[in-house]
Amino acid sequence: MSDHIENEGKKGKFMMWFIIYFLLFVVLLIYLYQVNSKLVF
């Protein structure tokens, strides 16, 4: 029974970190896109 509870906690932490990293990645892409659009060749 305790295995089930620990497993749920691991799944929740994994989802939390996955969402945080995904949001940071999207912000990075938007930042790079804006920096590149300002460059004039």
**Distance in Å from the first CA to the final CA of the chain:** 63
CA dihedral defined by 4, 9, 7, 11, rounded to 10 degrees?
A: 130
What is the rounded CA–CA span in Å between residue 41 and residue 36?
10
What is the rounded CA–CA span in Å between residue 16 and residue 18?
5
* Domain range enclosing 24: 1-41
The structural domain count of the chain equals: 1
pLDDT tens track, the chain, 41 positions: 555 655 667 888 999 999 999 999 999 999 999 988 887 66
Single pTM value for the model: 0.63
Joined together, the tokens standing for residue 20 give 């945080």
Q: What are the start-end ranges of the E strands in the chain?
A: none
